[in-house]
A and B are shown apart, each in its own frame.
Chain A
C-alpha cells in the first residue's frame, strides 16, 4: 500500500522541509536525511542563489516538490505560464511526485497567497478534478492533493470535507497528501471527529503524510507550523499509519524555525509509530 502509483512507487521514509535557516548546516554538514520537501514556488525563478542551493541539495539528497500556489480549486483555469515554470522545475528536481493543496487562492489574476477553503459541492469537486487532471497531464508527474486547515465553512456545501476530498481524488484519479495536523485543526474549528475523517478517506490513494504544529487561540486553532507536533496529532498520525501503512512522512516547520537537529529529531519521532505498527502481531 505505501509505495503506490501516487508517489511513483517510492518508499521515502521521514523527510523535512528545506528551509533557508538550515541551508548552511545542510550544505556544510551533509546530515543524513531520507528526503527534503521543497516549496516549488521558491525555486520557480530564473537564476541566482535559490537554484544554486537547490542544485547542491539535489546532488546529495532526494527532493520532492510541494506547491502552495497552483490553486486546484480556483474557478479560473490553471495558468499555463505557471505550469510551464513548474514543469521546468520538475525536470530539474526529477521529483517522483508533486503535491499542492485542495484549495483556491486567486481570482482574475489577483493572488491572496493563502490556502482558502472550498465549498464542498459536486460542481466544485468536478472543477477541481478537471484542474488536477490538466496539471498532471501537462507536468507528466503523479499528483497528490493536500487537505488544508480551514477557519470557515460555506452554506453551499453539500457534503463533509472528507467526502469532498474523496470525490475530488476519485474524479481526478490522483493521490492524497494527508495532512493529519490540518485535519486536527479543522476538526477543532468545525466540531467534527478527526477520526471520522481519517477512517473515510481512501487509504490506497495516500501517497504522503504531513505532520506539523499549530497554535491555539481562544476561539479557534491556527495552523502556524511554528511548534513541535502536539500529542493529539501524533495519535492521529499513529492511526493514519495503521490505515495506510508506512508512508513518506514530512514534518513542516515554517516559522520560529529552530536548529536543523531539533527539526529533524522531531520528524524522526514518526518512526516510533511506524515501528510499533510493524512490530505488532499480525
Chain B
C-alpha cells in the first residue's frame, strides 16, 4: 500500500504553517492528518506524544491545527485519533467473539491493534475490516502463540460468516435444470456466499457456546458515532477451548439466515473440486478416491449429497471468473 512520506516535526517547525492553495496541498494536509489519526494510541488511550521522527507530536499538530481557549492543537487532533481507534477496535471486537474467547481480552486487543497498525482499513465499509486478518497472522503468528492453528481456524470461520451474511447470490440451479446433463461434461458453480472450510478444531461448537454465554449481537450497521474503547468489563468467563479434530464446514445462508453445516470429508472434496472447475464426474471421482470409509453405497450417498446441496440453493451456473 502506498504510504505518504512522514513529515518531520522538527523540519515543519522551521517552515510556515501548512497552506491549502491547491489540490496537491490539500492532499498533503490530509495525508499528514491521516498519518496522525492512524497511529496507535498509548496505553492510556491517548495520542502518542512523539511523532514518527522522534520530535514532539504537539509541535507537528500546531503547524496545521489551531488551538482554542480550551484545547491545544494536540488535544484537538487527539480527539480524531481516539475516535478512529475506538471505532475500528470496537468493530473487530464485535466481529470476532470466537477469536477473542480463544485469546482472552487483553491479548485480543493487542493483536487487533497490531493488525490495524499494519493494515489500516482499505474499504469504505467496516464490514471488510477483518479481511486481511488471516494474512496478518500467517505472517506474524506470534500474536496468537501458543495457539496459532486454532486462532487461524477461528479467523477463517468468523470471516466466512461475514461473507455468508451479505455476499452476492446467483440464480440457483435446481435438479430439474440439469436432469439431462452428462456428468462428465457438466460443471456447476457454487454460490459466492458459500465458504468451504477444512479445519483442525471444532470451532463451530465452540463459537455457539461463546455466543450463548455472551448473548453476542453481531455488528451489522456502520455508524459515525462511536462508543468508548472496548475493554473487558469484569473477570473473563473462559469456555473450554475446542478439541483438536479435523472437521469440514460449509458456511452459508438460507432464506437470508446464517448457517454452518458439517460436511463429510468426501462431500467437502467434491464441492471443492466443483468450485475449482472440475466436472461433476471428476469431482465425484476425486471425492471417492479420498475416502477411507467402507461399506457405503456411494451412488446413493452422492445422490443424497447433490439433492441436499441443490435444495439449499448452493449450485449456480458455472462461471470461469
Contact = CB atoms under 8 A, between A and B. Distances in A.
A161 interface: no
B23 A127 contact: yes
Interface string A149-184: 001111110000000000000000000000000000
Contacts of A119: 20, 26, 29
A40 B37 CA distance: 25
Interface in A51-77: 51-52, 68-69, 74-76
A281 interface: no
A219 interface: yes
A69 B75 CA distance: 25
A156 B38 contact: no
Q: Main SS of the interface on chain B?
A: loop
B321 interface: no
B276 interface: no
B96 interface: no
Interface centre among A48, A74, A116, A224 (most CB of B within 10 A): A48
A114 B226 CA distance: 10
A121 to B, nearest CB: 4
A116 B4 CA distance: 18
Contacts of B3: 108
A154 B66 contact: yes
B156 interface: no
B165 interface: yes
Contact of A116 (B33, B125, B220): B33
Given A44-B125, A46-B167, A190-B68, A151 B79 contact: yes
A50 B30 contact: no
A255 interface: yes
Contacts of A220: 70-71, 79
Given A20-B220, A156-B19, A111 B121 contact: yes
B18 A155 contact: yes
Given A107-B31, A112-B34, A68 B224 contact: yes
A20 B221 CA distance: 7
A123 B19 CA distance: 10
B15 interface: no
Interface residues of B, number: 67
Taking residues whose C-beta sits less than 8 angstroms from the other chain, chain A's interface range is 35 or more
A80 interface: no
B20 A109 contact: no
Contacts of A246: none
B23 A75 contact: yes
Interface in B4-31: 4, 17-27, 29-31
Nearest to B122: A109
Contact of B64 (A19, A111, A156, A219): A156
B34 A107 contact: yes
Contacts, number: 185
A112 B38 contact: yes
A49 B26 contact: no
A45 B227 CA distance: 25
Interface in A210-235: 219-220, 223-226
Nearest to A115: B224
A89 B224 CA distance: 20
B83 to A, nearest CB: 6
A41 interface: yes
A156 B1 contact: no
B193 interface: yes
Contact of A111 (B71, B80, B122): B122
A49 B165 contact: yes
Contact of B88 (A50, A113, A124): A113
B222 A155 contact: no
Contact of B26 (A42, A111, A123, A155): A123
A109 to B, nearest CB: 6
Given A123-B23, A156-B18, A48 B29 contact: no
Contacts of B121: 110-113
A44 B2 CA distance: 26
B300 interface: no
Interface in A230-282: 254-255
Contact of A50 (B69, B79, B83, B220): B220
A82 interface: yes
Nearest to A127: B23
A79 interface: yes
Nearest to A212: B225
B169 A254 contact: no
14 contacts: A44-B125, A48-B253, A48-B256, A49-B257, A110-B38, A114-B80, A114-B84, A119-B29, A122-B21, A123-B22, A155-B17, A155-B66, A189-B68, A219-B71
| Complex A-B, nearest 8 residue pairs according to Cβ-Cβ distance, in ascending order | A46-B168, A75-B27, A48-B166, A45-B166, A152-B76, A69-B124, A75-B26, A155-B17
Given A48-B164, A114-B87, A255-B223, 14 more contacts: A46-B166, A47-B168, A49-B256, A69-B125, A75-B30, A76-B27, A106-B34, A107-B30, A108-B2, A112-B80, A113-B126, A116-B30, A226-B225, A255-B225
